Every structure is written in C-alpha cells, then in structure tokens.
Structure 1
Amino acid sequence: MRKGICVIDDDEIYQKIIRKLIARAEVFERAVFYMRASDALEDLRNPETSLPDVILLDINMPGMDGWQFIELLQKSYPSLFNECAIYIVTSSIAYSDKEKLKEFSGLAGFLSKPIKVDQLIEIGKAVK
C-alpha cells in the first residue's frame, strides 16, 4: 500500500525542513505540500483526489486556520478521522487551542515543532 502524507503549513522554512525530514524517514511514498489551507481543501474535495493517510496541519494560518479546515473537510468526509490520521503541528499552542483540541476527539495527535524523523517513522508505521 502506498502511504501518503499531506503537510499544510504557511511557514516556508518549515516546509523546506519537513520535506527533507519526510524524505529521510522513507515511510511515505507520496507527499503533497500546501502553504494555504484553502488550497488543500479545494484539492482534497476534488472527487479525483484521494485523502492522504496522514495530514500534518498547522493551526495558525492566515485566511483559513487549521480548525476551520478540519470542520470544512469533515463536511465532505463525514468519517474523516477513520480515513485519515490528522496531527496538529505547531510551534506553540495557546490555552484556547488546547481547549479546542477537545472538540476534535478524532485527531491522531498533537506534535510540537520541530518534528523529528523518528516521529515521522512512527507515524508512518502506525498508518493502516
């Protein structure tokens, strides 16, 4: 089975780093990257696009934040959390975001930046 990962984060430097880390982890055969959540949402809602096995999602982004992205994607995929492991990835998390996490019990987890290769390997191995 080809494992796929999607990274949604507006930080260009983080995007460059995570690309290299995903390549080093050697557990994902497909990787797609988005700077804007709205672009990712548009692509993932396309019937010809399949959901990735894993989404690494930043919370704080301009335009559409991570929470809005999840809510809108769930409308297209009611069983989203059964089809895709979504990890919230951020450099710092406010108390309000910690509280918001409780509203999304289906999230696969929370990861603090910077992510390490070992974490990506674990995530890749945990994918069905």
Structure 2
Amino acid sequence: MRLKKKICVIDDDEIYQMIMRRVIGKADVFEGKQHFCNAMDALREFQDLSRTLPDLILLDINMPGIDGWQFIEELREKRPEFEKKTRLYIVTSSIAQSDQIKAKSYKEVFDFISKPISVDQLRAIADSLY
C-alpha cells in the first residue's frame, strides 16, 4: 500500500545513501523522499517554517560537522513542535550502549536501529506512522 508520507535520510555515507534509495524504492510506501549527506543542509531546509517536515527521519549519529545529536538539538530549537509531526529514528552502525541510552533520553527519538535497515523494517515503520 502506497502512503502519502514523506521520508528523509540524513547520513554522510554516500554508499549507504545509495542503498537506502533502493530500500525505499523497494518498500514502495513513501511518496516524498529527501536525502542529505550533511546534517547542516537538512537543518537549513527544515528551519524554513514554510516547508513541511517529513513524516519520518532516519538519522545517523556519527557525521562530520554537526552530528545526529546536535541535529536533534538544533531542530528542537528551530521547530519545537517537530516531534509531534515527524517520527525520528536513529539508524546507525554504532553498537555503543551509551548511544542507545542517549537515544532514549531524547523524547524526539522514536527508536534506535542498527544499520542496515531492511525493506521489511522500513515497511513496518511506515505502517506505524500516524
């Protein structure tokens, strides 16, 4: 079933971005797709209040410039209502227990998933969107 939902992937790994484009395409549940290799570029896009936030953000935490945690803090400041409109998942290669604990401390983070995300996982996430 094709949803009228939008997804955004923020990850500095270009190969992973290419993989996610394929996964998103195979899942066939999202109408709008955005990809950012730089969290700062995503912030610039999302701080524009005239733009609609995506329904789902898949966010890496280990990125150059500003990392995923800083992205959440900045977005929270610019768009304080974003957690009511957007479901944010940390999708990372980090297996550090401290990152999992930190993710749980953010009310904006819905879940912590280890890379790579599968087509079935993405479909399940899409099914759970509001």
Q: Name the TM tier (shorter chain).
A: over 0.9
The residue type paired with residue 35 of structure 2 is F
5+ residue gaps, structure 1, are none
Corresponding residue number in structure 1 for 2:62: 60
Matched, 1:34 2:57: no
The 8 Å contact of residues 10 and 39 in structure 2, kept in 1 or not, is answered as yes
CA displacement at 1:80 relative to structure 2: 1.9
Q: How does 1:106-117 map to 2 (within 5 A)?
A: 106-117=108-119
Corresponding residue number in structure 2 for 1:88: 90
Count of residues paired in the alignment: 128
Moved more, 45-54 or 101-110: 101-110
CA distance in 1, matches of 2:121, 2:101: 24
5+ residue gaps, structure 2, are none
CA displacement at 1:126 relative to structure 2: 1.2
Measured on the aligned residues, the alpha-carbon RMSD in Å equals 1.2
The residue type paired with residue 118 of structure 1 is D
The 8 Å contact of residues 56 and 87 in structure 2, kept in 1 or not, is answered as yes
The 8 Å contact of residues 100 and 112 in structure 2, kept in 1 or not, is answered as no
Which whole-Å deviations, capped at 9, do the CAs of 1:65-122 have from their partners, x for residues lacking one? 0000001101122122111000000012323322312320331111111110001101
Tell me the percent identity.
52
CA distance in 1, matches of 2:13, 2:91: 12
Corresponding residue number in structure 1 for 2:106: 104
Return the structure number with greater relative CO, CA threshold 8 A, min gap 6. 1
- Secondary structure of 1:33's counterpart equals strand
Which whole-Å deviations, capped at 9, do the CAs of 1:14-38 have from their partners, x for residues lacking one? 0000000001001100100000000
CA distance in 2, matches of 1:23, 1:51: 20
- Secondary structure of 1:108's counterpart equals strand
Corresponding residue number in structure 2 for 1:72: 74
Corresponding residue number in structure 1 for 2:52: 50
TM-score w.r.t. structure 1 length? Answer: 0.94
TM-score w.r.t. structure 2 length? Answer: 0.93
CA displacement at 1:61 relative to structure 2: 0.1
